[in-house]
């Protein structure tokens, strides 16, 4: 079942889920906390309301984030760090422990995401419209897709296919003017592939691979695949 939603722009405390069958919405609460050192912009997602802690202005942003994660631990709820660049920045992303989802609103936010991925942390990014495939018409299925990075982010462009396995990734869209950028460890753009279809074969040295497909002003973002190094006898 194909499901789409706009996680970063909820309607009050609820995020409508759009699919072939009716789905209950996701519950959400945004926490804007002015901490001792920086502003924390965090958003919590779950199938139903959960009790969250109150802000403590004397604590650092890393401590505030850790306290939120402690409060939702074991519930199945997810948190989003909506402002990675201003809350931590590239030089401090290693302190953003427990972050699973980040909001991307700028190039600096994207750079912070790549820092986390280079540290081998399973962090997935949100921007635009979120699209995923789920087996059951239930909010828990969407939460699982978000938690494990099984979704794409659409900004006016939808992929007609996306295939990923242990050896690489391939994609297709219906735009002849599409250009894909393949991004690996440290945010390095390792390849630019033009056309409505494309693929990337892993060498084993990438660390992770993610793809951004653009066509005009539109774009679609895949989530990272972590690439295991190949054995000494493998071809590179």
- The reported pLDDT for the residue numbered 17 is 96
Q: Distance (Å, rounded) from C-alpha 141 to C-alpha 143? A: 5
Q: What angle do CA 101, 104, 107 make, to 5 degrees?
A: 135
Q: Distance (Å, rounded) from C-alpha 79 to C-alpha 97? A: 12
- Identify whether the C-beta of residue 15 lies closer than 8 Å to the C-beta of residue 6: yes
The pLDDT tens digits of the residues spanning 20-55 come to 888 999 999 999 999 999 999 999 999 999 999 999
Assigned CATH for 156-226: 2.60.40
Q: Where in the chain is the domain with CATH 2.60.40?
A: 156-226
Residue with tokens 């609103």: 105
- The reported pLDDT for the residue numbered 234 is 43
Q: Beta strand pairing status for 101-103 and 78-81?
A: parallel
- The reported pLDDT for the residue numbered 235 is 40
Regions of the chain with pLDDT less than 70: 231-236
- Please tell me what DSSP assigns to residue 135: S
- The reported pLDDT for the residue numbered 24 is 94
């Amino acid at each position: 079942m194909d499901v789409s939603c706009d996680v970063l722009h909820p309607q009050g405390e609820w995020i409508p889920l759009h699919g072939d069958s009716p789905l209950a919405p996701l519950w959400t609460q945004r926490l804007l906390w002015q901490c001792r050192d920086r502003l924390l912009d965090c958003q919590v997602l779950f199938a139903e309301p959960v009790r969250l802690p109150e802000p403590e202005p004397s604590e650092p942003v890393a401590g505030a984030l850790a306290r939120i994660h402690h409060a939702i631990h074991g519930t199945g709820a997810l948190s989003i760090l909506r402002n990675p660049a201003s809350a931590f920045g590239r030089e401090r992303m290693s302190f953003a422990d427990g972050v699973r989802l980040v909001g991307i609103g700028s190039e600096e936010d994207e750079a912070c995401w790549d820092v986390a991925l280079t540290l081998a942390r399973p962090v997935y990014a949100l921007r635009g419209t979120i699209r995923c495939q789920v087996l059951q018409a239930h909010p828990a299925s969407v939460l699982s897709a978000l938690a494990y990075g099984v979704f794409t982010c659409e900004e006016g462009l939808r992929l007609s296919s996306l295939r990923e396995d242990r050896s690489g990734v391939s994609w297709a869209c219906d735009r002849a003017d599409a250009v894909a950028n393949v991004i690996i460890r440290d945010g390095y753009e390792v390849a630019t592939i033009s056309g409505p279809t494309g693929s990337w074969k892993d060498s084993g040295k990438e660390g992770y691979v993610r793809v951004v497909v653009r066509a005009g002003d539109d774009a679609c973002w895949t989530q990272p695949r972590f690439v295991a190094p190949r054995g000494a006898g493998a071809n590179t």
